[in-house]
């Protein structure tokens, strides 16, 4: 029996490479050293630059990086990812495993245990470690502004040629509060004879809540700005948003106490002529009485 030994010609002519650092034979070199030596030279977690300081608002308990509201976890992930990208030029995934919070007046510190995975020059690297999070307490911009009665604009909710009904105002209030973002606030709410005035934290907030109210209750809104003053060489404007809920139409059915009435004729500036749907009796609803009815 003859045994034929096959020789791979490619294998034969190849130079054997050595890692200059550990002397091990290897086929592939990364940055002129073997894979193990290459990974041993990389340290993903742990550097002064990764440690971060967050402000904690004494009033609302929110965490802030600079002026931006954040969570401890998001801030940790962001800080670590940025530092790894800066150092190695690669993105990574950061998983925060544990947040050991020690927010006490004495220490104001927490450490975050995390696991970082990345791929550098084709080598998968995973590392588990800890970084330090420091806290300093203060009052955030939002709480500060609420306390000082700040507002950037007014949303005025009115109705076209009638008064908004109590029901509509209650609904509008609910809609407005559900449309507020994290940094929005309402400094004051004033119930007016003609409707509701809301003093809002920003122009964007005013615009958003006006839009949402109109989307849900109908009508339209317009905005106008007025020069209010100057601060640090810049003009400060206050914006008014005028939300107009739709007026009654001929045929609109209303409930007034225990009566059910239907709109017959609109008399501009005065009120609406209605008819009781049961007794067919004519009812005149003055403009200021429109507040108490319910639209069916």
Least distance from C-beta 18 to Zn ion, angstroms?
Answer: 9
Q: Is 37 in the site for Zn ion (CB under 5 A)?
A: yes
> Can you read off the two tokens belonging to residue 66?
């600079």
Least distance from C-beta 126 to Zn ion, angstroms?
Answer: 19
Contact code string over 7-36 relative to Zn ion, x by CB under 5 A: ------------x-xx----------xx--
Candidate ranges 54-62, 124-132, 169-177, 197-205; the one touching Zn ion (CB under 5 A): 54-62
Cβ-in-10-Å burial (0-12, 13-18, 19+) of 9 comes to: exposed
Residue pair 186/216 in contact by the 8 Å Cβ criterion: no
DSSP 214: H
Size of the site for Zn ion (CB under 5 A): 11
**Residue 161 or 184 having the CB closest to Zn ion:** 184
**Residue 59 or 111 having the CB closest to Zn ion:** 59
List Cα–Cα distances, 40 to 91, 116, 118, in angstroms: 19, 15, 14
Residue pair 19/29 in contact by the 8 Å Cβ criterion: yes
Q: How far apart are CA 158 and CA 287, in angstroms?
A: 13
Candidate ranges 139-147, 177-185, 186-194, 261-269; the one touching Zn ion (CB under 5 A): 139-147
> Alpha helix (H) ranges present in the chain?
9-13, 35-40, 72-88, 141-147, 166-178, 203-217
Q: Is 40 in the site for Zn ion (CB under 5 A)?
A: no
Q: Is 183 in the site for Zn ion (CB under 5 A)?
A: no
Residues from 55 through 74 that contact Zn ion (CB under 5 A): 57, 59-60
**Residue 37 or 131 having the CB closest to Zn ion:** 37
Candidate ranges 9-17, 52-60, 180-188, 226-234; the one touching Zn ion (CB under 5 A): 52-60
**Residue 34 or 169 having the CB closest to Zn ion:** 34
Residues from 141 through 180 that contact Zn ion (CB under 5 A): 143
Rule CB under 5 A: choose which of 44, 52, 110, 140 binds Zn ion. 140
Q: How far apart are CA 241 and CA 243, in angstroms?
A: 6
- In whole angstroms, what separates CA 272 from the centre of its chain? 44
Least distance from C-beta 136 to Zn ion, angstroms?
Answer: 14
E strands in 103-219: 109-120, 123-138, 153-159, 186-191, 196-200
Least distance from C-beta 39 to Zn ion, angstroms?
Answer: 10
Task: Output b/e per residue, 182-209; b: 16+ Cβ within 10 A.
Answer: ebbbbbeeeeeeebbbbbbbbbebbbbb
Q: By CB under 5 A, name the binding residues for Zn ion.
A: 19, 21-22, 33-34, 37, 57, 59-60, 140, 143
């Amino acid at each position: 029996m003859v045994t034929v030994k096959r020789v791979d010609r490619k294998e034969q002519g190849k130079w054997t490479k050595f890692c200059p650092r550990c002397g091990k034979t290897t086929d592939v070199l990364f940055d002129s050293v073997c894979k193990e030596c290459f990974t041993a030279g990389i340290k993903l977690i742990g550097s002064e630059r990764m440690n971060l300081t967050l402000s904690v608002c004494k009033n609302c308990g929110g965490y802030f990086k600079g002026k931006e509201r954040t969570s401890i976890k998001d801030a940790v992930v962001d800080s670590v990812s940025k530092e790894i990208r800066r150092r190695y030029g690669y993105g990574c995934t950061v998983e925060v495993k544990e947040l050991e919070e020690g927010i006490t007046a004495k220490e104001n510190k927490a450490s975050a245990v995390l696991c970082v995975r990345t791929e550098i020059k084709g080598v998968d690297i995973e590392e588990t470690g800890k970084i330090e999070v420091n806290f300093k307490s203060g009052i955030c911009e939002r709480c500060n502004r609420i306390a000082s009665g700040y507002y950037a604009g007014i949303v005025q909710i009115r109705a076209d040629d009638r008064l908004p009904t109590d029901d509509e105002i209650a609904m509008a209030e609910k809609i407005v509060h559900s449309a507020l973002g994290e940094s929005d606030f309402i400094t004051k709410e004033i119930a007016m004879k003609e409707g509701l005035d809301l003093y809002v934290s920003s122009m964007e907030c005013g615009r958003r809540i006006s839009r949402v109210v109109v989307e849900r209750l109908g009508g339209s809104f317009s905005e106008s700005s007025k020069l209010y003053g100057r601060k640090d060489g810049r003009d400060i404007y206050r914006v008014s948003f005028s939300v107009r809920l739709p007026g009654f139409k001929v045929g609109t059915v209303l409930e007034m106490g225990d009566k059910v009435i239907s709109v017959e004729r609109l008399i501009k500036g005065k009120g609406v002529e209605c008819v009781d749907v049961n007794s067919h009796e004519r009812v005149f609803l003055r403009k200021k009485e429109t507040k108490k009815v319910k639209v069916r």
